[in-house]
Structure formats: structure tokens, C-alpha cells
Structure 1
Amino acid sequence: MGSLRFYAPPIDQLSRRYDAAYVVDYDQIPRRSNVIHDGKILSIEFEGDDSVKLRIPWNVDDSQSYLLSTCSLRARTEPYHLALEVARGVLCRLKSLVAICDAADIEQTEAFYAALGAAIDAFTIAATSDHHGAASQEAAQKCIGHTAVAFAHLTSVYRDAAIDFIQEHAPHRTFLYGVNIRNTHPSADASALLRPTFNTAVVTPVWKDCEPNEGRFDYDDVKERIRWCRSQGLRVVGGPVANLDALHVPDWLYLWDDDFKSIFGFLMQYVETTTRNLNGMVDLWYCSSGINTTRDFHLTEEQQLRLLVGSIETMRRNEPQTPVLVSFDHPWGDYQSHSNRDLAPIHFAEEIIRANLGVTGVGVELNFNDCDGAVFPRDPFEVIRLLDQWGMLGLPLFVTLTFPSSRRFDKRAQRQISDNKNPCFPITRRRQREFVESVIPLILSHPQTQAVFWNQFTDATPHAYPNAGLFDRRDRPKSTLRSLREIRQHYLT
């Protein structure tokens, strides 16, 4: 076992989720970690004894909280200084991106260089002052804040340069820009807003609706939603089909919780029946979503893989011509640090691709929220680094994402936002809109990204993540929808 120790700010000055900190190795794969804060020292024990990077939720300023990373650190007895090492990590990452931009002749703005200079000055003070003193701690936090400002300026310049490059070298790139309507039939008013915003709809044949009683199938509602999508001029993605969360699974399946053979058989029968009934009606099959983090059934990693492989084989056997996508939840693999799971999400994807099952695209699910089962926010360039890593798989990338708009109790949500008085990060409609405006254009700029799907249509019907829809609980549009429409008009036309 290895151990990192840090002189840390008091608990009330750290993000409430400081206990979600973990370490990653040189492949960015999380290690099992145990976090303890005794009021002065933050200790992280982890598997192995080589150098690692610490990732920890951090309050950048009053309006931003991200999971930030240190540089590589070796285990030692003498504690490091947490704020200083976090500042060193973010500044090092910023300077690395500047070097990449310089090599590509991407010119920065004066405002960027001003923020970069302020960050370097603040880090110099933090590094050369008494590390135990308030001056060093304050300077380190200022460095992190200035770095965030510099990243914001860099984002827009990098995004525009990358999109210009793509439009020059692949001007006719087909891009799917859509929303998951799940099992909802949008109203006439909603339809009028969706048409100019999206070119694709994700239609989910919800298992509990299509097979409410064992062996009795009904796809009339699904077919009607697909026909509606066609009438609106939208491409149709069918799925996810093989989904094992509480929103999709029929109640009767829980009777077989401890019988994997039966669960496997029922799921394969459902996948086969679905693909046969909807044969020729969809443009892309979305085979599976988040099966790597399934928690509603007691499945081993081997069983999860068998379900995924079996679902893909069944789908390809019945629909050999239609492209098939699989996607993975928690693509950074955060859950590995606090569980007994050995396979990182990208390892699941590698196994599927090596098996040569006919998968034509890989999806990553970025459901950012302050609730159980969600992902802690990352800055836009951390998302790009993730896409670079997954892009090495050699297949087109599909990104599904959500971000909440309110901390209010959401009675139709499967999960709930924490009611802790010390929130992990700001959640407002404005913050949801700003998230979309900063992250999605950068995702569009990635050369291997072929699709972006907003993963939750409305808060007015049952859904997974609280307050993360584009329409509120009264089915009224949020301002985020307008931002998504403007992004399409600016970058995809």
C-alpha cells in the first residue's frame, strides 16, 4: 500500500466532497483509495507504491467547483501542501496546453496572457513563501483562480481553431445533434422548439413499458414516437435497449435477482424482440448504456461483460445493416477508487472492440450532478482529454451529457440532489446554460466526436437525474434550449 499525506485546509474550506478524492496512475486509471482528514492532515492510502496523481474536488471560486489534479507525486513520510500541489498541477496542465497551441500556431488573446502571468506570479509567491503560512495558502488559491480565468480564455480560442480545422478538412462531416426523449411524446409547443435545435432524437424502448408482463410485448407507443420523429425531420437513434436500471427494468425481473442465467435469458429475449419489431425503423441502434455501473442487480464484472456481449451479438444477428453504439457511464472510472471493481470503463470498451462484434461507435456518458451515481464536474479541457483517451480506441465517439438547473427536490427523479447546506458546486439555470455554452462547442471541436445527445428531455416525466431536463417540471423550456439551438446554428450549419 502507498500513502500520500497533505497539510490541508480545514474541512469547512474544502469541497464537501473532499472524501471523493482518489489517485490515478500514469494511464489515468483510478486506484482504490481511502481518504481521511483529521482536521490538519489529509491522508490518501492507495494500492501500489509508485508515483500517482491526486484528483480532488476543489472550490475554484464562488461560482466554479471542479475535480482538479496534482502533478505526479511519490509516496513519502513528509506531508505535501495540498493547495500548493493542486495549484502546481493546474498550472502545469495550462502551460502544457499553451505549448500545444503554440506548436499549432494558435494565437492567444491579451486577456489570456494577463491571466497566465497572474497565475505564475501567484504560484511563485505560494512556492517561495512559508508553506505553512497564510500567504502561501492564499497565493496558491489565487493561482488556481487565475488559472481558471486563463482556461476560459483558452477554451474559446482553442475551440474556434479546432472547428475551423475540421470544417476545412472535413466540410461534409455528418454530425448527430440530438436529445433523448425516452418514452415521451413532445407537445406541439415543445416540437416547435425541438425542430430548429436538433437533427436527431433518441427514442428509448423502455423495457418495463414494452414488456410489463413476462412474455407479453407491446411496441405500439415506441413505433408512434418513431413516426413522430420522422414527421419532424429527425434522425432516430433507438435505445438504449439493454439497460438494467430501475427506470427501465420491469418489476417482475427483480424476482430473478440472484439468478444470472435467467436474467441473461430474459434480456436476450427482449433485445431480440425489440430489434425484430423495430427492424428498419431506426438509423442507429443504441445497444446499451451504463451496464458497467449497474447496481440494481448483483452482477460481477464478468457477468456485466457477458450481458453486453450477448446484447450486441443478438442485435447484430437481427439487424446486421444498422450501425450499433454502446456507451459507458462514469468514463473516468471514479467508482473504481471506492469499490472492488477491477475493469475501468475504457477496459470494458477495449474488450468489446477486440471481440470484433461489429460495434461501430463508442459512447461516453457525462451526467454531471450533485447526487448519487452522478459525475463531479470537470473543466472543458478535462473533457477533451477524456475524449483524446477514448479516441485511441479508433471508433467514432458519441457523447451523452446532462447538467442540473436547480437544487430543488425533484419528485420525478430516480436520484435526488443532496440537501446539504454546503453544496458541492453551484446549481442554477444560469449555471446549466453556461455549462452548455462552454463544454458542448469544445466537444464538437474534437475530430472523433460524431454525436452529442442531451440525455434528458424533460423534468415533467420520470427521469434519472434531478432537474437536468431541457424542459422544467411544468414542461416549460429552459434557457439552455436556446443556447443549444444557437450552438447548432453557429457550429453545425
Structure 2
Amino acid sequence: DIKSEHPVAKRMDKARSCFIEALCLRKDHPGKADTLAMQSLTASIDGSEELAIAHADLLLNRRRTTGSVPRHVVGTGVALDNTHQHLRDAIYTHFDYVTIPMPWKVLAPEEGDYQWEVLDEWVNWARSREMPVIAGPLVSFEPANLPDWLFIWEHDYETVRDLVYEHIEKVVDHFKDRISSWNVVSGLHVNNHFTVAFDQLMDLTRLSAMAVKKIQPNARVLIEIREPFGEYYAGNQRSIPPMMYADLLIQGGINFDAFTLKMLMGQSVNGQHTRDLMQISNLLDHFAPMGRPINLVMGVPSSMVTEEMIVITDTAQQIDPDCGYWRKPWTPGVQSTWLDAMMHIALSKPFVETITWTTVIDHSQMDLPLSGLVQESMHPKPALKRLTTFRRNLANVRTENASAGSAN
């Protein structure tokens, strides 16, 4: 129960009074009514976010005290071409695990010609530091991931199917002694770059998960859901809505261990417009009945993403440079505040096992420009310090719980 002096209650009172006053003035003073209506909406959204955070704090504290927070909970993605030792030291210091992308385009730029050097170096480094690795996605139909030669077979599904299986087989077999967690497929349900039918999408998903389990039976298999709010479906009837896709995976008996939800916000492109915290919390709750843990991949920029930075693969898509920020235009401070709020909300959910920041350092090939926790100049952003503090507090609670258990 929320007491009347709680900030959320005050926000709701303001929203209610502004709304009622706007209704009364809408005929005689439409301009003032419009202003009051906007004030009501603003107070409602702010109040809903404060309520989401307050609820998250309550549940997260309960999760902390019961010792149910996993040991390896905070990770980050990496830029494959940045192997600077200071950056790797920072990754080892500030994170529990590392996510290593494995673009098909990088592994096999020419058909049948696999080049392992770059990936081997990253995987061997993580292993030398005893950092767990989540590798992948192995299969994604995004242009940045697919080799050019594969598009030759776009309209020959049987050949594509065979090539996907062979690719997964080669990669998993190469790394099976060093990697135990695989992000197998990413965003197949969005289906916006490759011509694939509904049943073929599900078949590829099943085939990919099965291929990993066949070669490495004890491997942890993750399936990534991109654009989880599902806006893409309105403009692409060949796609599958995210919740339907997730449900089909469960009902179809596909052998996988967890979902990865990729949630990038703050860029004016499809699937990356900013949502408020209550919407995000509600979306996560929709995955609770699925009975699978969640690895949440998230990221927001530390500065406004300009039109020049946005990489558009669909020439018909319109740019809206004024859309896509949270509360106020993105700054390093806003990024830091958003990160802290999202860490609390996500880890308050008992089914969220891990949180991965999309990438540790700004670089030219990132999905969301300026979303790194470290600048290209190697200077850390405030969000990295905020993340480190949050992670340290989690570790301290685990240590205290372990000590109490030993004493008993």
C-alpha cells in the first residue's frame, strides 16, 4: 500500500486533478485544457515509473536477502576489433561474464573459408581469466551478420537450411571445449531482410537449437528475441509477433534453455524508440509464464543520436531525429540514471538471470551509436561507475548471506 505522502501518490493526485480540470475547460479554454492534459500525462508517466522502481526495490531486496541472485549476473558485449589491454582489464574488473559476438560474415567471409583467429583470441583471453562466455548469435539475418555470398541462396530454402546447419556444426565443434553457452539465433521472428516463410522460420529455429545440442549436449542454448515490443509486425505480415514466437518455441517443444531479450533504446529506428520503465517492467512480466530464464541485453546512448549516425538498411524508413529519449535528451548522466533504474527493475524479476550491456566501448559498427560504457578515447562514462557500484552491492549481499549461512 502507498501512503498519501509517498511521491507516487502525490504524482497521481496531480495527474487526476489536471485531467479533471482539462475536461472542464476543453470547450471554453482549449489551449489551457491542452496544457493541463499534457501535465496530467507527464505526471502519470513519472508516477508510473516511480511506482515501478519502488516495486522493483522491494522485490530486489527480497531476492537479495534470500540469496537467489545468481553469481554471474552482469556482463557486457565486446567489439571484436578492439583488443586493447586496458579495455580487457576493465572488462575483467567490472563484469562477471563476457558476450562475444560471432558474425557469420566475420567467420566465413568466403563460402567454406573459416577464419578463426579473431574469435580464438577473444575466447582464449576470456578463458585465461576464467570469465564465462556467452557466444553468438550464431545465426542472424541482419546484413551486418550475414556473409554476402549467402544472399545468392536467399530463395532456395533447402540450401539455406543446409548451410545454416553446417555453419553451426563447424562453429560449435571448434569452440565446444571453451564455450558452454550459445546464443543460437537472433531476430529470426522479425524476418525483415531475408525472404523466409512462417514455417521455415520455426524450422530454422528448431534446427539451430538441435544442432548445438547434438554436438554439445550439455551446452546452454539461448534464443534471442529482438524488438520485443513488436512494432515491426504492423508493417511486415511475414514476421511473427515476439510473444507469439516465444509461445511457439515453448509449445513446439524446441530444446532450448533461456530467452535473450535484446532491448536497445534511444535511436529513431524501428524497435529502438524509448519506452518508459513501467512498460518495460510490464513486458518482462509477460515472459514469466513462459518458464524460461531471461538474459536481458540492454543499452541506451550517452548522447543524442544524430541523423548522420543512424544506419538505415531500409531506404523507405523515415528518420525522426526528435524521437527517442528518456525524460530529457540523452547525456552521460541520463544514461547512468537509466542504467541504474533498469538494473533494479530487471533483477527484481526472479526469472531474469543475467543482464548484458550491449557493448562496453563506443565503436563505429555498434547497433546503437554512443551506447558504450567507455568512450572511444578509453575514458569511462559515469554509467560504468554506476554499474560497478550496483554489482559490488550485489556481491556484498551474497558474501553476507554466505557468512550467515556458515555461522548457522
Deviations 1:436-464 (A, max 9, x none): 12222111111110111112233225222
CA distance in 2, matches of 1:475, 1:248: 26
Indicate yes or no: 2:124 matched with 1:124.
Answer: no
Pick 1 or 2: higher relative contact order, CA cutoff 8 A, min separation 6. 2
Deviations 1:172-221 (A, max 9, x none): 63443111115244422222322232101011222122112211223232
CA distance in 1, matches of 2:360, 2:308: 16
Question: Which residue of the partner structure matches residue 438 of structure 1?
Answer: 341
Give the aligned residue type for 1:240: P
Question: Which residue of the partner structure matches residue 462 of structure 1?
Answer: 365
Question: Which residue of the partner structure matches residue 9 of structure 2?
Answer: 113
Question: Which residue of the partner structure matches residue 332 of structure 2?
Answer: 429
> Higher mean Cα deviation, 109-118 or 442-451?
109-118
> Higher mean Cα deviation, 170-179 or 210-219?
170-179
Matched pairs, number: 389
Question: Which residue of the partner structure matches residue 451 of structure 1?
Answer: 354
CA distance in 2, matches of 1:212, 1:339: 29
The alpha-carbon deviation at position 311 of structure 1 amounts to 0.7
Give the aligned residue type for 1:463: M
Question: Residue 412 of structure 1 contacts residue 460 of structure 1 at CA under 8 Å; is this kept in 2?
Answer: no
Question: Residue 400 of structure 1 contacts residue 454 of structure 1 at CA under 8 Å; is this kept in 2?
Answer: yes
CA distance in 1, matches of 2:219, 2:375: 34
Give the aligned residue type for 1:202: T
CA distance in 2, matches of 1:287, 1:365: 14
Q: Among residues 146, 159, 166, which one is paired with 1:262 in the alignment?
A: 159
CA distance in 1, matches of 2:170, 2:308: 32
Question: Which residue of the partner structure matches residue 402 of structure 2?
Answer: none
Secondary structure at the aligned position of 1:288 is classed as: strand
The alpha-carbon deviation at position 375 of structure 1 amounts to 2.3
CA distance in 2, matches of 1:110, 1:407: 33
Question: Residue 189 of structure 2 contacts residue 239 of structure 2 at CA under 8 Å; is this kept in 1?
Answer: no
CA distance in 2, matches of 1:359, 1:303: 18
Question: Residue 190 of structure 2 contacts residue 226 of structure 2 at CA under 8 Å; is this kept in 1?
Answer: yes
Question: Residue 245 of structure 1 contacts residue 294 of structure 1 at CA under 8 Å; is this kept in 2?
Answer: no
CA distance in 2, matches of 1:153, 1:349: 29
Q: Among residues 118, 125, 136, which one is paired with 1:228 in the alignment?
A: 125
Deviations 1:453-481 (A, max 9, x none): 11223322522222222233444332222
The alpha-carbon deviation at position 224 of structure 1 amounts to 1.8
CA distance in 2, matches of 1:379, 1:485: 24
Unaligned runs of 5+ residues in structure 2 are: 397-408
> Higher mean Cα deviation, 253-262 or 313-322?
253-262
Q: What are the residue-to-residue correspondences of 1:234-249 with 2, within 5 Å?
A: 234-249=131-146
Indicate yes or no: 2:272 matched with 1:393.
Answer: no
Question: Residue 64 of structure 2 contacts residue 394 of structure 2 at CA under 8 Å; is this kept in 1?
Answer: no
Indicate yes or no: 2:387 matched with 1:484.
Answer: yes
CA distance in 1, matches of 2:215, 2:260: 22
Question: Residue 26 of structure 2 contacts residue 34 of structure 2 at CA under 8 Å; is this kept in 1?
Answer: no
Unaligned runs of 5+ residues in structure 1 are: 1-101
Q: What are the residue-to-residue correspondences of 1:34-183 with 2, within 5 Å?
A: 102=1, 110-130=6-26, 133-171=30-68, 173-183=70-80
Q: What are the residue-to-residue correspondences of 1:297-316 with 2, within 5 Å?
A: 297-316=194-213
Name the structure where strand makes up a greater proportion of residues.
1
CA distance in 1, matches of 2:26, 2:308: 51
Secondary structure at the aligned position of 1:196 is classed as: helix
Deviations 1:157-181 (A, max 9, x none): 2222111111233446344311111
- Residues 313/421 of structure 1: CA separation in 2 closer, same or farther (3 Å cut): closer
Question: Which residue of the partner structure matches residue 256 of structure 2?
Answer: 359
Give the aligned residue type for 2:107: C
The alpha-carbon deviation at position 338 of structure 1 amounts to 2.5
CA distance in 2, matches of 1:381, 1:200: 28
Secondary structure at the aligned position of 2:140 is classed as: coil
CA distance in 1, matches of 2:144, 2:38: 42
CA distance in 1, matches of 2:310, 2:324: 19
Question: Residue 116 of structure 1 contacts residue 146 of structure 1 at CA under 8 Å; is this kept in 2?
Answer: yes
The alpha-carbon deviation at position 412 of structure 1 amounts to 8.3
Question: Which residue of the partner structure matches residue 235 of structure 2?
Answer: 338
Question: Residue 213 of structure 1 contacts residue 252 of structure 1 at CA under 8 Å; is this kept in 2?
Answer: yes
Question: Residue 247 of structure 1 contacts residue 463 of structure 1 at CA under 8 Å; is this kept in 2?
Answer: no
The alpha-carbon deviation at position 407 of structure 1 amounts to 3.4
TM-score by length of 1: 0.73
CA distance in 1, matches of 2:266, 2:46: 23
CA distance in 2, matches of 1:418, 1:182: 28
Question: Residue 199 of structure 1 contacts residue 234 of structure 1 at CA under 8 Å; is this kept in 2?
Answer: yes
CA distance in 2, matches of 1:472, 1:418: 29
Indicate yes or no: 2:170 matched with 1:285.
Answer: no
CA distance in 1, matches of 2:4, 2:135: 42
Indicate yes or no: 2:94 matched with 1:197.
Answer: yes
Question: Which residue of the partner structure matches residue 404 of structure 2?
Answer: none
- Residues 396/190 of structure 1: CA separation in 2 closer, same or farther (3 Å cut): same
Give the aligned residue type for 2:266: N
Question: Residue 296 of structure 2 contacts residue 355 of structure 2 at CA under 8 Å; is this kept in 1?
Answer: yes
Counting aligned pairs with the same residue, the percent is: 19
Give the aligned residue type for 1:229: A
TM-score by length of 2: 0.87
Across the aligned residues of Structure 1 and Structure 2, the Cα RMSD in angstroms comes to: 2.6
Q: Among residues 267, 273, 282, which one is paired with 2:170 in the alignment?
A: 273
